[in-house]
Amino acid sequence: MLELILEQRYYLVSILLFSIGFVTLFLHPNLIKKIIGLNLMDTSIFLFLAAMGYMEGGQAPMIEEGSNWAMYINPIPGGLVLTGIVVAVSTTALFLSLTHRLYRKYHSLNLDVILMLAKKGREDT
Amino acid sequence: MKTTQNDNGWFRRILQWASESESEGADAPEDPEKQEFQEYLEYIDAHDYIEFGAYRYMRYQQRKELGLDEPTSHYTAEPPTPQKKQKGKKSHHKQGVLRKQLRWYQVASVLITCVIFWILCLVVMELPEFGALDAPAWNEVVQRYLQQGREETGAVNAITGMILEYRAFDTFGESVVLFAAAISTILLLRTPNQPLRQRKAGDEILKELSKYLLPIILLFGFYVILYGHISPGGGFSGGAILGAALILASLILGAGEVGRVLTSKRVTYITVFSLLTYAVMKFYSFYTGANHVGWEIPKGEAGHLFSGGFLLPLNLCVGLIVACTMYTFYTLFIPTEEE
């Protein structure tokens, strides 16, 4: 059992990171911390994919002339992670800009306070 | 008082701060910001925790309802009357209704996360071992990419060959996602004719150092992009390095200096132009049935700079898109004059 856990340590760490991000989304009312939680979840997925691509004793896929194809690692997860990181950055920027707009209007980052003020504003009008 | 302080310089001010001289102590309570913060502390002692910004906004709303003062002056009004305070307290309790009525909210969320963690752990234990050679992901697709990739795409770097030849449509969509995110961030944050705050000119040492450092970083970014099909690297990573160099430049030299050369209009033009170039270069293969491999462009000899057909210009396009988007994100989050 312990051997198996040590063998799968990359997957387990990625799951741990995923859970931390997930519980952050639930428990923190602060919007910036929610975004940090989402980023943690992104990172855990990248770790998981990168670990999936590794082959025992594999090299980086810089293919040399006439070499055996089995000596390289799997290039597909590499490509997926590469593009995933860029999308994570752009979605984070989008979230942050939305949060910035909310802060300008309600002067708070606390989701509860924002919801209260929005509800109050709706009742007033 | 203020002018003498400025004349005396920072050392004198530190001494004054350390000894807490009489004049400072006498001035302090008249500072309206400090007074307001004191009231804020009393308020959260008496009621429940609430953020300072939200407190100020609440006070401001109350004063506006009472007609006490103009909306611009935050500090000098009377503290809210007890009744009003009571009302504020009530509404504050109302906002936490989810947390207060469902006391098990936090417990439940932790429990749900634990259950998900446990399920995922069980799944992971059933996966093929880390680095196993007989994993199902190691199938004929990978074999094809690794065996034929060098001849078919002319790229030494199998990942670049994969994402720009076999899966070029994916990468195009990826760049469009970046562009869409940049555009919507611009729409959300940009208000017309908002001048950027002129930062103070950076530190002398940093400026001198950046003269030697910035060209090297820019050169390295371009190297990573241009040699993306021969060595580790490519458009995405090189573009990130270029974007970081631009951000560093605008941090050290001031946003205005870099902004004069790279105006937001020009940055958007570069991004759109790169996207269109990418689309035009890949249009042929999209048109003929999305088989991006084996068309009549001379591949060149794998391992040389000008090889692999259109890989070099495609990498350049992706790199420029990424760099410009990074820089746009940075410029949009610089505080402007009004804030």
Residue B196: beta bridge partners? B336
pLDDT of residue A24: 92
Dihedrals phi, psi of B196, to nearest 5 degrees: -70, 145
* A residues 5..34 contacting B (CB < 8 A): 7-12, 15-16, 18-19, 22-23, 26-27
Cβ <8 Å between B185 and A53: no
Q: Is A100 a residue whose pLDDT tops 70?
A: yes
- pLDDT band for position A59 (50/70/90)? confident
The number of domains in chain B is 2
Q: Is A5 a residue whose pLDDT tops 80?
A: yes
From chain B, the residues in CB contact with A105 under 8 A are: none
* A residues 80..99 contacting B (CB < 8 A): 82-83, 85-87, 89-91, 93-94, 96-98
**Residue B108 within any structural domain of the chain:** no
Q: Is B137 a residue whose pLDDT tops 80?
A: no
From chain A, the residues in CB contact with B143 under 8 A are: 69
pLDDT of residue B100: 58
Nearest to B159 among A82, A107, A117 (CB): A82
The number of domains in chain A is 1
Q: Is A30 a residue whose pLDDT tops 80?
A: yes
pLDDT of residue B28: 44
Min Cα distance A97 → chain B (Å) is 6
Q: Which whole number is the average pLDDT over B83-108?
A: 56
Residue A59: beta bridge partners? A72
Cβ <8 Å between A103 and B53: yes
**Residue A64 within any structural domain of the chain:** no
Average pLDDT of the residues of chain B: 75
A73 within 8 A of A54, measured Cβ to Cβ: yes
* A residues 38..57 contacting B (CB < 8 A): 51-56
Sequence-distant (≥ 6) Cβ neighbours of residue B309 within 8 angstroms: B153, B154, B165, B295, B297, B298, B299, B300
pLDDT of residue B335: 67
Summarised one tens digit per residue, pLDDT across range B214-271 is 999 999 999 999 988 888 888 889 999 999 999 998 888 877 777 788 887 888 899 9
**Residue B105 within any structural domain of the chain:** no
Identity at B180, one-letter amino acid code: A
Domain that holds residue A74: 2-59+69-124
Residue of chain B minimizing CA distance to A4: B125
- Greatest pairwise CA separation for chain A in angstroms: 75
Q: Is A61 a residue whose pLDDT tops 60?
A: yes
**Residue B244 within any structural domain of the chain:** yes
Both B329 and B200 in one domain: the answer is: yes
CATH code at A38? 1.10.287.3510
Give me the helix-helix angle, A111-124 and B82-95, nearest 10°: 120
From chain A, the residues in CB contact with B158 under 8 A are: 61-63, 72, 75
Q: Is B294 a residue whose pLDDT tops 80?
A: no
Sequence-distant (≥ 6) Cβ neighbours of residue A61 within 8 angstroms: A72, A73, A75, A78, B146, B157, B158, B159
**Residue B128 within any structural domain of the chain:** no
Summarised one tens digit per residue, pLDDT across range A109-123 is 888 888 888 888 888
Report residue B280 as tokens: 């035009």
pLDDT of residue A19: 95
Cβ <8 Å between A90 and B157: no
Cβ–Cβ pairs < 8 A, chains A and B: 178
- Measured CA to CA in angstroms, residue B259 lies from A11, A109, B326, B327 at distances of 44, 30, 14, 10
Both B296 and B178 in one domain: the answer is: yes
**Residue A7 within any structural domain of the chain:** yes
- pLDDT band for position B90 (50/70/90)? very low
Mean pLDDT is lowest, of B12-21, B204-213, B307-316, for B12-21
Q: Is B233 left (phi over 0), alpha (psi -120 to 50) or beta?
A: left
DSSP structure class, residue A54: -
Domain that holds residue B196: 154-333
Min Cα distance B201 → chain A (Å) is 26
With pLDDT > 70 as the criterion, what percentage of chain B qualifies?
A: 67
pLDDT of residue B296: 58
pLDDT of residue B5: 42
Cβ <8 Å between B158 and A15: no
Choose the final residue of a domain: B47, B76, B92.
B92
State whether ipTM is beyond 0.95.
Answer: no
Mean pLDDT is lowest, of B31-35, B79-83, B151-155, B306-310, for B79-83
Min Cα distance A42 → chain B (Å) is 16
Residue of chain B minimizing CA distance to A75: B159
**SS3 (DSSP) at A30:** strand
pLDDT of residue A45: 95
Q: Which whole number is the average pLDDT over B34-61?
A: 75
Long-range contacts of residues B273-280, Cβ cutoff 8 Å, at least 24 apart: B274/B175, B274/B316, B274/B317, B274/B318, B274/B320, B274/B321, B274/B324, B275/B175, B275/B176, B275/B179, B275/B317, B275/B321, B277/B313, B277/B317, B278/B172, B278/B175, B278/B314, B278/B317, B278/B318, B278/B321, B279/B172
pLDDT of residue B241: 94
Both B191 and B326 in one domain: the answer is: yes
Q: Is B39 a residue whose pLDDT tops 60?
A: yes
Cβ <8 Å between A55 and B57: no
With pLDDT > 90 as the criterion, what percentage of chain B qualifies?
A: 17
Cβ <8 Å between B163 and A109: no
Cβ <8 Å between A79 and B163: yes
Both B305 and B193 in one domain: the answer is: yes
